[in-house]
Amino acid sequence: MHELIESRWSARGYDPGASISVHDLETIVDAGRWAPTWGRLQPVRFVVGKRGDDTFDTLVGTLTRGNAGWAPRSAALILVCTSDRPDDPKEHTYAAVDLGLAVAQMSLQAVAVGFNAHPMAGFDAAAAVRAFDIPSDQRPLVLLAIGVPADPATLPDEIRERDEQPRSRLPLSEVAFAGQWGTPAFGERD
Ligand X SMILES: Cc1cc2nc3c(=O)[nH]c(=O)nc-3n(C[C@H](O)[C@H](O)[C@H](O)COP(=O)(O)O)c2cc1C
Angstrom CA distances, 18 to 14, 52, 86, stand at: 8, 12, 40
Nearer to ligand X, 23 or 167 (CB): 167
Measured from the CB atom, the residue of 40 and 169 that comes closer to ligand X is 169
**53: β partners:** none
Dihedral sign from CA coordinates of 111, 52, 68, 44: negative
**10 scored as a contact of ligand X (CB under 6 A):** yes
Q: Taking the complex as a whole, how short is the minimal distance between the CB of residue 122 and ligand X, in angstroms?
A: 3
- If the CB atoms of residues 64 and 183 are measured against ligand X, the closer one turns out to be 64
Q: How far is the CB of 149 from ligand X (least distance, A)?
A: 11
**Going residue by residue from 58 to 97, which x/- string records binding to ligand X, judged by CB under 6 A?**
---------x------------------------------
Residues 117-176 touching ligand X, rule: CB under 6 A, are 119-122, 142, 167
CB of 147 to ligand X, least distance (A): 12
- Nearest Cα to Cα of residue 5 among 87, 117, 84: 117
Separation CA 154–CA 144 (nearest Å): 23
User: Which residue's CB is nearer to ligand X, number 22 or number 152?
Assistant: 152
Q: Is the separation of the CB atoms in 63 and 69 below 8 Å?
A: no
What is the distance between the alpha carbons of residues 75 and 8, in angstroms, rounded to a whole number?
17
User: Strand 116-120 vs strand 76-83: parallel, antiparallel, or unpaired?
Assistant: unpaired
Binding site for ligand X (CB under 6 A): 9-10, 67, 119-122, 142, 167
